[in-house]
Amino acid sequence: MAVTESRVIGGPDRRVVVTALGVTQIFAWGSTFYLLAVLAPYVARDTGWRYDLVVAGASVGLLVAGILSPRVGRLIANHGGRAVLAVGAMLLASGLAAVGLAPTLPVYWLAWAIVGAGMGAGLYDAAFSTLGNIYGSHARGAITAVTLFGGLASTVCWPLSAFLVERLGWRDTCFVYAGLQIFLCLPLHLVALPRSAERERSQNRSDASAARLQSGEPIVFAILAAVLTIGAAILSTVGTHLLPLLQARGLDLAFAVGLGAMVGPSQVGARVIEMLASRHYHPVWTMIASSLLVAVGAIMLFFNAPVISLALILYGAGNGIGSIARGTLPLALFGPQRYPVLMGRLALPLLVAMAISPYLGGLVFARSGADWTFGILMVLALANVLLAAALRLLVIRKG
């Protein structure tokens, strides 16, 4: 506890750290996960590569990020997040520059693998681990605040990407994002984040090496990993296929886009409510609320409810606070000392699910249609409700 309290009392100004990490998260997500939503048609048209193979670049990146995430967690536990996030920005810059230069499809995929290494060291899991490393058990508010920034990634970067690609082309757009990583994100990490004190490094090394799950904890960890992984699979599938699914239900593209645009503000709005109320309850309730909201939204979409906008608002709100639970619940369950290492382990199945679920969802959609796709999403969402409830029961017994 002494180490945790020293982190809080002697820690850097939360406003500076949260703002810096929030800005870098916007561009980390905007230049990776959300990039090909805008650029992929231009890449395919310019190169002649098949559209699905172009989009597969992001899947390659997410797979690499998932594979590297346990190692990233251990590095943050041992050395703090400043160096790791800085290296992540440099890897993102190198990978994006390589994407922009790629002459062939295999080189393009290799470039995305480099981007994926930067994603593993620079997206939410690394940022959350860094905040846990700095503020210990008091990091919940900072984690929530960073997700408010992260929720704006598509809002900021989709218009920016569209502006850049129309005027500069897709290759130069990648170069611009590479420049933002070097000249904006890298300095923010180096200036705003603290160096780990030598005493804390020594303590964290011993904690990281002893980050084994104790009696009763493996089942808690397994259920938490399952909830997070299923939630990530739903998020990635809906994020990729929502507009075509809505069009398959008879909506025109403009109306589908307008409905889809409700998801982002719903995520941010729900996160604001969570930030204001979170001190009054355990983070497991955030996870339960998230799974319920997503499930209700999925049920309404499956049954083609007349108020589709409400279904998407509920779905967006559930995903919004789900991102918060992803960062805060492991901290509450396993404590700050083991938090960076265990976050890295949790990120592995989560990011792998995000990589492969759009492809699997696309197969179901192409072969069986929108009803089957929405039906599978509904079943997964209902399964997550049951898993979250089981997790709550285990937390009661544990606590």
> Distance of CA 241 to CAs 57, 260, 392, Å?
17, 11, 32
As a whole number, mean pLDDT of residues 27-32 equals 94
As a whole number, mean pLDDT of residues 4-30 equals 78
- Residue 107 pLDDT > 60: yes
- Sign of the Cα pseudo-torsion (37, 40, 41, 42, in order): positive
The pLDDT of residue 127: 93
Spatial separation of the C-alpha atoms in residues 208 and 177, rounded to whole Å: 34
How do residues 70-86 score in pLDDT, each as one tens digit? 999 889 988 888 999 99
Radius of gyration in angstroms for the set of CA atoms belonging to the chain, rounded to a whole number: 20
Local confidence band at 4 (pLDDT 50, 70, 90 cut-offs): very low
What is the b/e burial string over 185-202, where b = at least 16 CB atoms within 10 angstroms of the residue's CB? bbebbeebbbebeeebee
Q: List the structure tokens of 329.
A: 């619940």
Say which residue, 361 or 388, is predicted with more confidence: 388
The pLDDT of residue 281: 86
- Residue 68 pLDDT > 70: yes
- On the 0-12 / 13-18 / 19+ scale of CB atoms within 10 A, 393 is exposed
How do residues 37-53 score in pLDDT, each as one tens digit? 888 889 999 999 988 88
By C-alpha distance, which of 132, 61, 121 is closest to 354?
A: 61
The pLDDT of residue 279: 80
Mean pLDDT check: name the lowest of 333-337, 384-388, 390-394. 333-337
The pLDDT of residue 66: 92
CB 41 within 8 A of CB 51: yes
- Residue 3 pLDDT > 50: no
- Residue 1 pLDDT > 70: no
- Residue 363 pLDDT > 60: yes
Say which residue, 220 or 239, is predicted with more confidence: 220
Domains and CATH numbers, the chain: 2-209 (1.20.1250.20), 217-398 (1.20.1250.20)
What single string gives the DSSP state of each residue in 304-367? T-S-HHHHHHHHHHHHHHHHHHHHHHHHHHH-TTTHHHHHHHHHHHHHHHHHHHHHHHHHHHHH
> Distance of CA 342 to CAs 278, 337, 364, Å?
22, 10, 33
- Residue 201 pLDDT > 60: no
Spatial separation of the C-alpha atoms in residues 336 and 182, rounded to whole Å: 30
pTM of the model: 0.84
The pLDDT of residue 206: 44
- Residue 34 pLDDT > 80: yes
Cα(first)–Cα(last) distance of the chain, in Å? 18
Spell out the alpha helix ranges (H) of the chain: 2-9, 14-30, 36-47, 51-79, 81-101, 105-122, 124-135, 140-150, 153-168, 170-180, 186-192, 198-209, 217-248, 253-260, 263-277, 283-302, 308-334, 339-368, 370-398
- Residue 242 pLDDT > 60: yes
Q: What are phi and psi of 59, to 5 degrees?
A: -65, -40
Local confidence band at 233 (pLDDT 50, 70, 90 cut-offs): very high
